[in-house]
Amino acid sequence: MGIVFLITLQGSLSHHPAKAPGRSHPTLTFSPPPSWDDLKYLFIFGDSYTDTGFRLSNGLPSLHSNPMGNPAFPGVTSSSYTNWVGYLTTEFNRSAVLTYDFAVGGATVNDNPVIYLPPNAGVWQNTIRTQIEDEFLPAVSRGIIPKGGVEDGFDDGVGGWTSDNSLFVIWIGINDVNRSYWDKRGKDMVNLHEKILEDYMELVGKLHKAGARRFIFIDVPPVDRSPGTVFAGPERVIREGGALRSFNNRLSRTIPKNTVFFKSSDIFNDMMDHPDEYGLKNVERWCRGYLGRMVPSEDYEDESCGGVKFKEFFWVDGLHPTSTPHKEVAKKLAEFLDGQPTQE
């Protein structure tokens, strides 16, 4: 089909300074993602599409045991089996990597009540801001996640993390988009998206200050095609689709030079448009037999699901995909890293 699924590398591969994140817009320099030969650490932030249940206090990633730290692989995911983080870390990886996945289900970029909260709602606490400011940055400053060179840090032989051996991946925006077109906020959606992305890039600037240089930003997938949205009716589909396209377009233009814009939306749309090519039998509904639990394998078949295996469904519930789309996302990410030049 010749579809380029993914990659937009912002700017050329030369390391010219870019106008960068944060309200003050200082000039910062970013670098392209590393090759597999150079990659030792993955630091990941996001929402339920990315959450594996990892918590720093429950044990750190180790090549001797679990490269994703905790809980036991593949973790607890919204896909009911391995998600893209697990596949990228253990199946499609070309080298051993340690993965710190700070994602939390339900996360938004920030907790600004003007942007996010519907009437009478409580405070929204799961955010990229808390993942970065309350988890990652303190762990780095206290040496829980040690920085260093090849010989420093862990006894795994990979040393501490550096600007060159680490990749920062952020997949966020689903919950932000869903909150941006509710009620009267829909009239001011563009300005809301601009504010969200301003906060987003401010946080990227804080990661940069800590030493992060190599980033992949994943766009909002086509959740306007999810069963929950489709069942809500055509008006909801139209409004949500417009909101996510608005957000994605602005995100692609906002991220710093030399960073990557990865289009999960192209992958998801192609899978739903050409299900046979991916071994999918149902891309419109889900089966309760696979809902709300971790299934034992991709090939698992629940007798209540009409002869359709878990991996043959695209959706596991009204919003979240099964492991099959996650696997494709990880595969495409790994292929991109395959093509990155090794550092000299």
Model pLDDT, residue 179: 83
Mean pLDDT, rounded, for 314-338: 98
Across 105-114, 239-248, 299-308, 323-332, least confident range:
105-114
**SS3 category, 64:** coil
Contacts of 51 (CB under 8 A, 6+ apart): 75, 76, 77, 78, 83, 101, 103, 104, 105
Q: Which of 209, 149, 169 is nearest to 87 (CA)?
A: 169
Region for residue 18 given its phi and psi (left: phi exceeds 0; alpha: psi -120 to 50; beta: otherwise): beta
Determine the Cα–Cα distance for residues 52 and 74; give it in Å rounded to an integer. Answer: 7
Maximum C-alpha span of the chain: 58
Q: How many Cβ atoms are within 10 Å of 2's Cβ, its own excluded? A: 3
Determine the Cα–Cα distance for residues 64 and 69; give it in Å rounded to an integer. Answer: 10
Model pLDDT, residue 115: 59
Model pLDDT, residue 280: 99
The pLDDT tens digits for 34-46 are 999 999 999 999 9
Contacts of 131 (CB under 8 A, 6+ apart): 45, 102, 103, 104, 107
pLDDT grade, residue 1 (50/70/90)?
very low
Q: Which residue has the tokens 């209540």?
A: 304
- Which amino acid is present at 40? K
Contacts of 203 (CB under 8 A, 6+ apart): 21, 109, 128, 129, 132, 133
Q: Which of 108, 223, 79 is nearest to 172 (CA)?
A: 108
pLDDT grade, residue 80 (50/70/90)?
very high
Q: Are strands 7-9 and 18-19 parallel, antiparallel or unpaired?
A: unpaired
For the cut 60, the answer to whether the pLDDT of residue 11 exceeds it is no
Q: How many Cβ atoms are within 10 Å of 188's Cβ, its own excluded? A: 14
Determine the Cα–Cα distance for residues 236 and 177; give it in Å rounded to an integer. Answer: 12
Q: Give the chain's domains with CATH numbers.
A: 7-285+325-338 (3.40.50.1110)
Model pLDDT, residue 184: 60
For the cut 90, the answer to whether the pLDDT of residue 60 exceeds it is yes
CA angle at residue 213 from 211 to 217, to 5 degrees? 125
Across 8-17, 236-245, 311-320, least confident range:
8-17
Q: Which long-range contacts (CB under 8 A, 24 or more apart) does 224-229 make?
A: 225/268, 225/269, 225/272, 226/315, 226/318, 226/319, 227/284, 227/285, 227/286, 227/315, 227/317, 227/318, 227/319, 228/317, 228/318, 228/319, 229/318
Contacts of 28 (CB under 8 A, 6+ apart): 17, 18, 20, 21, 205, 208, 256
Determine the Cα–Cα distance for residues 61 and 66; give it in Å rounded to an integer. Answer: 6
CB 323 within 8 A of CB 80: yes
Contacts of 333 (CB under 8 A, 6+ apart): 6, 84, 88, 92, 169, 216, 262
Question: Cα–Cα distances in Å, from 343 out to 31, 109, 162?
Answer: 11, 32, 13
For the cut 90, the answer to whether the pLDDT of residue 118 exceeds it is no
Model pLDDT, residue 21: 45
Half-sphere exposure of 208 (CA within 13 A, CB side): 23
Model pLDDT, residue 23: 40
Question: Cα–Cα distances in Å, from 247 out to 8, 177, 219?
Answer: 16, 7, 9
Q: Which residue has the tokens 């590393």?
A: 34
Q: How many Cβ atoms are within 10 Å of 293's Cβ, its own excluded? A: 11
